[in-house]
Chains A and B, each alone.
Chain A
Amino acid sequence: MSQKFRQSEGGRIDRGEPLSFTFDGQIFEGYRGDTVASALLANGVHLVGRSFKYHRPRGIVSAGVEEPNALIDCNVTEAERGTREANNRATVTELRQGLTTRSVNAFPSLRFDLGAINTLLARFFPAGFYYKTFLVSTRLWHGLIEPIIRRAAGLGVSDESPDIARYDAHYLHADVVIVGAGPTGLQAARTAAQSGARVILVEQDSLCGGSLLRDPVTIDGKDAESWINDVTADLAAMSNVRVMTRTTLSGIFDHNMLTALERVTDHLDPGQAGLHTPRMRWHRIRARQVVLATGAFERPLVFRNNDLPGIMFASAVETYLQRYGVRAGDRGVFVVNNDMALSAAIKAHHAGIEVSVVDVREADRSQRNEGPNARSLRDLGVPVHTGHTVIAAHGARRVSGVEIAPMTLDGGKISGESRVLACDFLATSGGYNPIVHLHCQSGAKLDFDPETACFVPGPPNPTTPSLSAGACRGVFGLNQALIDGADAATRAVSALGATVGPIDAVSDGPVGKGTMPVSSSDDAHDGDLRIRHLWLLPSDKPTSKGGKYWVDFQNDVTAADLELAVRENFRSVEHIKRYTTLGMATDQGKTSNINALGILSDVLGVTIPEIGTTTFRPPYTPTTFGAIAGREPGDFLDVARVTPMHDWHEANGALFEDVGQWKRAWYYPRPGEDIHAAVDRECRAVREGVGLLDASTLGKIVVKGPDAATFLNRVYTNKWLKLPVGRCRYGLMLGEDGMIMDDGVSSRLGEDEFLMTTTTGGAASVLTHLEDYLQTEWTDLKVYLTSVTEQWAVASLNGPRARDLLAELCTDIDLSPEAFTFMSWQDATVVGIKARIFRISFTGDLAFEINVPADQGMALWSALMTAGSKYGITPYGTEAMHVLRAEKGFIIVGQDTDGSLNPYDMGMDWIVGADKNDFIGKRSLSRKDMADPLRKQFVGILTEDPSVVLPEGAQLVSAEDAPAQAFPKSPVPMQGHVSSSYWSSAAGRSIAMGIVKGGLARKGERLIVPLEDGRNVPVTLGDPIFFDNQGERQHG
């Protein structure tokens, strides 16, 4: 049965290049130029999938991107792991040698699917089934119903292994982007190109031509194929034009930023793609003008069992016949509500198919009402049943017949005996829907044209302008469309300020004349567009009885579902959409939305424009995530900043913690150590000997200028004017709301120069904050800011032996406590490297922070480690740093504070220079609420059992509120939460800090920390300091 339905000649396929492929394990043959759908149809295969909800047998209905049914997984063998792609539309998947595909959602097989029992149970799965089920019992939902639905519903299976393909990102700029290379788009492109403007023509198909590919008209005295070839060849020869086929313009964003997905290699046979050729390219195109020539979709008719395999769009039957040389069957019935679609019936008749026609339009015995195509068919001897409706389609896995009956003139009901026309395919046309997706994405509105029952583009959005032309704005006739395309291009070009001249004006333009082509198309194309709107074809039974009337094929939504939603009082189309899931499948309702609106308008008794459409969102068709990620997956997803000593940390087994974009050494486990053992050892080394921390990541900003001290005085809460050169001071920075924003030590390098340090994560936002004030508020201050974070490497030497070690390596300054006091800095030479040493401490122990130029960081670190070995020098990471600072009650902004805490809340009154004239946040601190004694305040938290380490984030509750069980039934008032919690070997117990309502006045009070496991841990509030309470060690 090899390609039994293939015509012996004709079409845009290459019969000289046969290709074999598999579908559900069976080997088929097709030709170069085929899609999977056309090749399957050539082999007589219509049944290609099972539906989402009811597992209904489904067939190919379209020949394009709107296909709701024919979804296939591609590259499905084990050997192709990493390249499998789920839910491709077979109608646009180009055939290549050895392509492997399978149907979706069928179990155990496509022909015999157990899930089809859902059809028999359909009355238990009405619209809003999920929502109704939620209401029954959440336990039933999670335990029973959801797992069953997840197994039964769904489409293709995603590849869980990493995508091995490579994707590229391109940025393009164009004067005019034209979307769609059908007759309208081609004519627009050649018109725009003549002006010399930079033109990009984007076509999603592998071929240019659009509707001409299925319609052998004559244009400019040439057959359609020659005309397409000539125009595209001319365009290709022009240096100002780029034609991009296999490229989907997927989105329009503000100011005409367009996104386009180019499929580069999927259609190539194995081994044909270049080694470095990406699978796809993701183009971001900035366009000055956009012309949309996106065409129209044919609209299905809604009748009983309209989803049987073998029921297709008339235009699809025509496309398969003309473009692919494939007959949809041997015996076809065309059911239409317009005359234009019948050109397909004429072609089918000429191809030897036995054709009959059912025209739902008003019966008129004299046939004066008949369109030209219907007339031609009658002349050809084809039976035409005017004024008839379809009562039902018959068949199991393929349509076998259609039951028709005459209708009353108003189309309200049956007016005569029904009869069955036998067939093996059914071609339908319910009119055409202009493809207005991109127009709507640009922010422009739609108008409703009652004549064609179409939504057509309204005026363009002036800030993201685009001009629609041809069928996508309801201009269906070929000659009018050609004129419309040229006209839109002319307007686009003149909006640019250029004029469209004869093609000769462009030096490299080889095209002869810019004259308007004339096509041979006659009334059949351009004349009769009258449509009879019967949103539901009348039948002998209501929609809820007998077979279903399918509206949304991909999500299995029926006319009865829509009617039910309205009965349940849903009125807004957005609500009905979500309740019934209409239009929410991967095809986004391309074939279903307008029919649903028509049905709803009948049920609700309002007009279609009153109902309105749902929102059109990008992407226009499904887009591979990999293409959007481009070259930035994995390690390239975000910037990783590393310190000059990073390699040493890595070589010495450090585990890393992300702090902002920085990789900071977290702790350095020795063999056999867990995090607790390692951190404990690192902490003890600092308290008893000497430890070394890489502090290079702290933000460093040079504040320079005659007004530098004044500036710091205004951005910090405390006083800075009189800080002597050579001294350092801790500063707290607030926002204007009085809440703590950042903190750090700043040092006076000279009369008019300071070095400010910020938190690692806050460096960038602090710099922006400071720039903001300098540029816009205090423009009179003479201050410059320079970020020097990455210019310096910082090794922080901490512990009682720090001075002994440093003295061995730094001999040009006196390191004694008298000569080099706490909170001062000095220039010095350390192991021959020029350094700046700061005597500041974040551990509460004797500390020297040694700053050297970044490229000397590793040398300094290595020298310290080598010389320090006799003191047992221990590198420590951020986790030990956190424990050590917590022992001293030093806060970490962003961990112990959360943007709602002011200095008073943190018990830091000492740092607020209340008598200063002004500083950022000062006025807010005097607001009444800031002094509320019931604000949440920072306290120490000690567990009664010293061995219990509280989890950070745990809640504190009053003793009388202690819950009797984990997850109590009723909520318990929270008093606060734990912000920092550690095991402290220096304190010999667990330590914690947190914020508690009115906490500063509640020290000594006993509270309860209820834990997830049901334990209630008693704690006592106290001061947030647990070691060296007098603060003597840091002066050491």
Chain B
Amino acid sequence: MLLIRCPYCEQDRPEVEFSYAHQAHKPRPEEAEGTLDDHNWARWVYYRKNIKGVAHERWYHAAGCRKFFNAVRDTVSSEVLATYRSGETPPIEESRIEGEEISFEYERTTEPTSAEEGK
């Protein structure tokens, strides 16, 4: 069971107090309609990086302060390299041991289009 430091409580707490809350630093495109085409919108909604290596993750201190925060975790060894508050810059970069990075650009288009749907 992991030991995770909550950056708000400033304590090492056992994993059972937390919930994993998916990939970090994936802000919601604002005023969504008309800014992203269907293809890129689907990427934002459905795709996750799923990194084998050092990944930026969100965790939720569900049975504690109920704050969402970010963690840098090695998904192979499960070492938690750092935790930091929402909105802060990650102290360690992500790195992938193997596998391909899925292109994940928020390519903003001026007009909504579904031309790329189905690709």
Whether the pair B28, A255 counts as a contact (CB closer than 8 A) is no
Q: Is the CB of A926 within 8 A of B3?
A: no
B77→A257 contact, CB < 8 A = no
B79: chain A residues at CB < 8 Å are 462-463
Chain B residues closer than 8 Å to A737, beta-carbon distance: 45-46
CB distance from B42 to the nearest CB of A (A): 7
Alpha-carbon distance A777/B117, docked complex (angstroms):
27
CB-CB under 8 A from B62, the residues of chain A are 768
Q: Nearest B residue to A735 by beta-carbon distance?
A: B45
Select from chain A the residue with minimum beta-carbon distance to B44. A736
What 0/1 pattern do residues 769 to 810 of A give for CB contact below 8 A with B?
001100111010000000000000000000000000000000
Which residues of A in the span 966-1013 have a Cβ within 8 Å of any Cβ on B?
none
Say whether B71 faces chain A, with CB atoms less than 8 Å apart. no
Contacts known (A255-B3, A463-B78, A463-B79); A772 close to B68, Cβ less than 8 A: yes
**Which of A463, A777, A927 interacts with B42 by CB under 8 Å?**
A927
Interface string of A910-935 (1 = CB under 8 A from B): 00000001100011101111000000
A922-B46 in contact (CB<8A): no
Whether B28 pairs with A777 at a CB distance below 8 angstroms is yes
* B21 near A772: Cβ-Cβ < 8 Å: yes
Q: Which chain A residue shows the least CB distance to B26?
A: A776
* Contacting pair A922 B68 (CB below 8 A): no
Q: How many chain A residues touch the partner (CB < 8 A)? A: 27
| Chain A CB within 8 A of B103 CB | no
Q: Which residues of A contact B38 (CB under 8 A)?
A: 927-928
Determine whether B86 belongs to the interface, using a CB cutoff of 8 Å to chain A. yes
Q: How large is the interface on B (under 10, 10 to 19, 20 to 34, 35 or more residues)?
A: 35 or more
Instruction: Kindly state whether residue A286 has any CB partner on chain B within 8 Å.
Output: yes
Q: Mark B1-42 against chain A: 1 for CB-CB distance below 8 A, else 0.
A: 111000000000011000101000001111111001010011
Known: A736-B45, A768-B60. A461 touches B32 (CB 8 A): no
Kindly list chain B residues whose C-beta atoms are within 8 Å of the C-beta of A926.
Answer: 33, 112
Question: 8 Å CB contacts to B: which residues of A445-489?
Answer: 461-463
- Binary contact track A730-741/B, C-beta < 8 Å → 1, others 0: 000000110000
Q: A768-B60, A771-B66, A918-B33 are in contact. Are A923 and B77 (CB under 8 A)?
A: no
Task: Encode A250-276 as 1/0 by CB contact (under 8 A) with B.
Answer: 000111010000000000000000000
Contact of B68 among A257, A771, A924, A928 (CB under 8 A): A771
CB within 8 A of A928: which of B14, B15, B67, B114? B114
> What residues of B have a CB within 8 angstroms of the CB of A286 in the complex?
3, 14
CA distance A929 to B117 in the complex (A): 9
Q: Which of B19, B21, B31, B67 contacts A917 (CB 8 A)?
A: B31
Could you say which of B14, B15, B21, B77 contacts A462, with CB atoms under 8 Å apart?
A: B77
Q: Establish whether residues A927 and B32, one from each chain, have CB atoms under 8 Å apart when the complex forms.
A: no
Checking A253, A443, A922, A928 against B32 with a beta-carbon cut-off of 8 angstroms, the contacting residue is A922
When the two chains form their complex, are residues A779 and B45 in contact, meaning their CB atoms are under 8 A apart?
no
Contacts of B114 in A (CB 8 A): 927-928
Minimum C-beta distance from A282 to chain B (A): 14
Please state if B28 and A736 are interface contacts (CB–CB under 8 Å). Answer: yes
Contact pattern, B 62-83, Cβ under 8 Å of A = 1, otherwise 0: 1000111000001001110000
Would you call B32 and A776 a contact (CB within 8 A)?
Answer: no
B33's contact among A254, A775, A777, A923, by CB below 8 Å, is which? A923
Question: Taking CB as reference atom, which chain B residue is nearest A919?
Answer: B32
Q: How far is the CA of A990 from the CA of B86 in the complex (A)?
A: 53
In the complex the two chains form, what is the Cα distance from A234 to B14 in whole Å? 33
For A257, list chain B residues within 8 Å (CB). Answer: 1, 14
Q: How many inter-chain contacts with C-beta < 8 Å in the A-B complex?
A: 69
- Please state if B27 and A777 are interface contacts (CB–CB under 8 Å): yes
Complex CA gap A443/B78 in Å reads 10
B33 lies within 8 A of A922 (CB) = yes
Contacting pair A775 B68 (CB below 8 A): yes
Complex CA gap A771/B64 in Å reads 14
Within the complex, what minimum Cβ distance (angstroms) separates B24 from chain A? 9
Q: Does B87 contact A (CB under 8 A)?
A: yes
| Cα A775 to Cα B21 with chains together (Å) | 13
A257–B12 Cα distance when bound, in Å, is 13
- Contact indicator B86/A776 (Cβ below 8 Å): yes
- The docked-state distance in angstroms from the alpha carbon of A873 to that of B3 is 55
Verify B77–A776 contact, CB threshold 8 A: no
Q: Which of B15, B31, B41 contacts A918 (CB 8 A)?
A: B31
Tell me, rounded to whole Å, the shortest Cβ–Cβ distance linking B83 to chain A. Answer: 14
A443 closest partner in B (C-beta): B77
Cα A564 to Cα B86 in complex, Å, equals 59
Contact between A254 and B41, CB atoms less than 8 A apart: no
| B117→A923 contact, CB < 8 A | no
Tell me, rounded to whole Å, the shortest Cβ–Cβ distance linking B103 to chain A: 19
Interface residues of A in 898-957 (CB under 8 A from B): 917-918, 922-924, 926-929
Q: B45: which A residues are within 8 A, CB to CB?
A: 736-737, 924
Smallest beta-carbon distance B63→chain A, Å? 11
Partner pick for B41 among A461, A776, A927, CB 8 A cutoff: A927
Closest Cβ–Cβ distance, residue B6 to chain A (whole Å):
13
Q: Which chain B residue lies CB-closest to A924?
A: B45
Chain B residues whose CB sits within 8 angstroms of the CB of A463 once the complex forms: 74, 77-79
Query: Shortest distance in angstroms between B27's beta carbon and chain A's nearest beta carbon?
Result: 7
Contacting pair B41 A924 (CB below 8 A): yes
User: What CA separation (Å) do A257 and B4 show in the bound complex?
Assistant: 13
Give the Cβ gap from A33 to chain B, nearest Cβ, in Å.
Answer: 38
Q: A426-453 toward B: CB 8 Å interface, digit per residue (1/0)?
A: 0000000000000000010000000000
Task: Give the docked Cα–Cα distance between A779 and B27 (Å).
Answer: 12
Contacts of B117 in A (CB 8 A): 927-929
With a CB–CB cut-off of 8 A, which chain B residues contact A929? 117
Complex Cα–Cα for A768 and B59 (A):
12
Chain A residue nearest to B79 in the complex (CB): A463
Residues of A contacting B31 in the complex (Cβ-Cβ under 8 angstroms) = 917-918
Residues 539-577 of chain A: 1 if any B CB is under 8 Å from the residue's CB, otherwise 0?
Answer: 000000000000000000000000000000000000000
Which one of A253, A443, A924 has the greatest number of beta carbons of chain B within 10 Å?
A924
Residues in chain A near residue B68, CB distance under 8 A: 771-772, 775-776
A461 touches B77 (CB 8 A): yes
Contact B78 A254 (CB under 8 A): yes
Contact (Cβ within 8 A) A779 B3: no
Residue among B2, B36, B42 making CB contact with A255, cutoff 8 Å: B2
Which of A254, A775, A777, A923 interacts with B67 by CB under 8 Å? Answer: A775
Closest to A917 in B: B31
Closest to B35 in A: A923
- Which chain B residues (80-119) contact chain A, with CB distance < 8 Å? 86-87, 112, 114, 117
Collect the chain B residues with CB atoms within 8 Å of residue A461's CB.
77
Q: Are A253 and B1 in contact (CB under 8 A)?
A: yes
Please report the C-alpha to C-alpha distance between residue A754 and residue B34 in the assembled complex, in whole angstroms: 31
Report how far A286 CA is from B1 CA in the complex, Å. 9
Chain B residues positioned under 8 Å from A917 (CB to CB): 31
Report B101 CB to chain A, min CB distance, Å: 22
| Complex CA–CA separation, A929 to B112 (angstroms) | 15
Bound Cα distance A927, B43 (Å): 12
Query: Bound state CA distance, A463 and B45, in angstroms?
Result: 33
B1, B21, B41, B114: residue with the most chain A Cβ atoms closer than 10 Å:
B1
Complex CA gap A69/B85 in Å reads 56
In the bound assembly, the distance between CA atoms of A924 and B114 in angstroms comes to 12
> What 14 additional pairs, Cβ within 8 angstroms, besides A775-B68, A923-B41, A926-B112?
A254-B2, A254-B78, A255-B3, A255-B78, A286-B3, A463-B79, A737-B45, A768-B19, A918-B32, A922-B32, A922-B33, A923-B32, A928-B38, A928-B114
28 CB-based A-B contacts, threshold 8 Å: A253-B1, A254-B2, A257-B1, A286-B14, A461-B77, A462-B77, A462-B79, A463-B74, A463-B77, A463-B78, A463-B79, A737-B45, A768-B62, A771-B66, A772-B60, A772-B68, A775-B67, A775-B68, A775-B86, A777-B27, A779-B87, A917-B31, A918-B30, A918-B33, A923-B29, A924-B45, A927-B42, A929-B117
Q: What 5 A-B pairs come out closest when comparing CB atoms?
A: A923-B32, A463-B79, A257-B1, A928-B114, A255-B3
- B contact residues vs A (CB 8 Å cutoff): 1-3, 14-15, 19, 21, 27-33, 36, 38, 41-42, 45-46, 58, 60, 62, 66-68, 74, 77-79, 86-87, 112, 114, 117
